[in-house]
A = this chain, B = another copy of it.
Amino acid sequence: MSPKTACFLVIGNEVLSGRTRDSNTQTLAHALNAQGIILSEVRVIPDIPQRIIDAVTECRARFDMVFTSGGIGPTHDDITTACVAEAFGVALRCHQESYDALNALFPEEAFNQARQKMAWLPEGSTPIKNTVSTAPGFSIGNVHVMAGVPSIFRAMVQWLVPQLEAGAPLTMCSWHAFNVYEGTFAEALTTLQGDFKTIDLGSYPFARDDKHGVALVAKGYDSHAVQEAGRALKSLLTQIGVTPISGEPAP
The residue from B13, B190, B206 contacting A219, defined by CB atoms under 8 A apart: B13
Listed residue (A17, A30, A190) with the most chain B CB atoms within 10 angstroms of its CB: A17
- B29→A25 contact, CB < 8 A: no
Copies of this chain in its oligomeric complex: 2
Q: Does A239 contact B (CB under 8 A)?
A: no
Instruction: List residues of A (177-236) whose CB comes within 8 Å of B's CBs.
Output: 182-184, 186-187, 189-190, 193, 200-207, 217, 219
Q: Does A43 contact B (CB under 8 A)?
A: yes
Q: A18-B33, A172-B17, A172-B19 are in contact. Are A42 and B39 (CB under 8 A)?
A: no
The residue from B19, B21, B25, B183 contacting A15, defined by CB atoms under 8 A apart: B25
- B106→A183 contact, CB < 8 A: yes
Across the interface, name the chain B residue whose C-beta is closest to A135.
Answer: B183
- A40→B23 contact, CB < 8 A: no
- A18→B29 contact, CB < 8 A: yes
Interface string of A102-120 (1 = CB under 8 A from B): 0000100010111100100
- B29→A16 contact, CB < 8 A: yes
Q: Which of A74-82, A90-98, A137-145, A160-168 contacts B (4 or more CB under 8 A)?
A: A74-82
A16 to B187, CA, bound (A): 25
- Interface of A, secondary structure class, is mixed
A151 proximity list for chain B (CB < 8 A): 207
Across the interface, name the chain B residue whose C-beta is closest to A193.
Answer: B76
Q: A43-B41, A190-B75 are in contact. Are A13 and B183 (CB under 8 A)?
A: no
Across the interface, name the chain B residue whose C-beta is closest to A186.
Answer: B114
- B16→A42 contact, CB < 8 A: yes
A110 proximity list for chain B (CB < 8 A): 183-184
The residue from B170, B184, B189, B204 contacting A76, defined by CB atoms under 8 A apart: B189
| Nearest 4 pairs of A and B residues by beta carbon | A18-B29, A114-B186, A42-B44, A115-B183
Q: Give 17 new A-B contacts, CB below 8 A, not counting A13-B202, A17-B172, A76-B186.
A: A14-B204, A15-B42, A18-B29, A18-B39, A20-B204, A21-B22, A21-B26, A41-B44, A41-B51, A42-B43, A75-B190, A76-B193, A77-B203, A114-B186, A114-B187, A118-B183, A149-B205
Can you give 27 contacting A-B residue pairs, CB < 8 Å? A13-B200, A15-B29, A16-B29, A16-B42, A17-B29, A17-B172, A21-B22, A21-B25, A41-B46, A41-B51, A42-B42, A42-B44, A43-B43, A47-B202, A73-B203, A74-B182, A75-B189, A76-B186, A76-B189, A77-B201, A110-B183, A110-B184, A112-B187, A114-B182, A132-B207, A149-B205, A149-B206
